[in-house]
Amino acid sequence: MSPLLFWIFAAIMLVFGGMVVIHRNPVASALSLVVSFLALAALFVSLDAYFIGVIQILVYAGAVMVLFLFIIMLLDLKAELRRRPNLPAVCGGFVVIFLFIVAIAEVSFRFQGGDASFQPIAQGPQGDIWHVGMILFQRYNIALQVVGTLILVASIGVVVLSKRELK
């Protein structure tokens, strides 16, 4: 993938990420986040990580954000009112941004491997899904099972709680 496409998608992602915060209408914010996710998925695809890219769309853009939107619509959230910014909050915000930029600069200047080129992982007929599966089910098998059990317990808990609510 050419660097041009990388810049385009990175720009889309950042711009729409910013829109999530800037927009006053909650639906517009949620949709901006969806576009941001799509651009992020495109970046994953550019790294030959098709599986992660598609899962990004399927899970985040296709399911999680639909639920978000669903809830926003059901609650009928109105656009936020424009308030006068108060000085301490603005100053605090700038401090946080400054610290964040410093942290990123620190990391990126320290990072030596940025110039090195790596072997593409997803080679061979199986592609990246095979690799992801192998790593998940061999190296991190126990962790995966634990997480799976945790999610199962959580979903059973939700069912029990919602049933109790009904009575």
Partner 1 sequence: MMHLLLFALISLIKTIGLIFVIILPMVSYTVYAERRVSAMIQDRLGPNRVGIPLTLFGFQKDIPFFGLVQPIADAVKLLLKEDFTPNHVNKFYYCLAPACAMAPSMMALAVIPFGSQLWGEPMVVANVNIGVLWVFAVSSLGVYGIVLAGWSSNSKYPFLGGIRSSSQMISYELSLALSVIPIFMICGTLNLPEIVRYQTVHGWLISPIWLNGISLFPPSINGQEIMRSFDFLKFLLWIPLFISFIVFTISMFAETNRLPFDLPEAETELVGGYHTEYSSMKFALFFLGEYAAMIVGSAVIVTLFFGGWHVPFLPTTLVDPYTFWGVILGLIHIAAFFFKVALLLFFFIWVRWTLPRFRYDQLMRLGWYFFIEIALVNVFIVAVILPFMRR
Binding site for partner 1 (CB under 8 A): 27, 31, 34, 50-51, 54-55, 57-58, 61-63, 66-67, 69-70, 73-74, 126-129
Least distance between partner 1 and beta carbon 7 (Å): 19
Least distance between partner 1 and beta carbon 137 (Å): 12
Reported in sequence order, the residue ranges of the chain that DSSP labels E, i.e. its strands, are: none
Nearer to partner 1, 17 or 127 (CB): 127
Least distance between partner 1 and beta carbon 58 (Å): 4
Q: What is the DSSP letter of 14?
A: H
| Alpha-carbon gap, residue 34 to 11, rounded angstroms | 15
Nearer to partner 1, 10 or 25 (CB): 25
Least distance between partner 1 and beta carbon 2 (Å): 10
Least distance between partner 1 and beta carbon 34 (Å): 7
Written as six digits, the tokens of 82 are: 């424009």
Nearer to partner 1, 93 or 133 (CB): 133
Nearer to partner 1, 31 or 43 (CB): 31
Nearer to partner 1, 115 or 165 (CB): 165
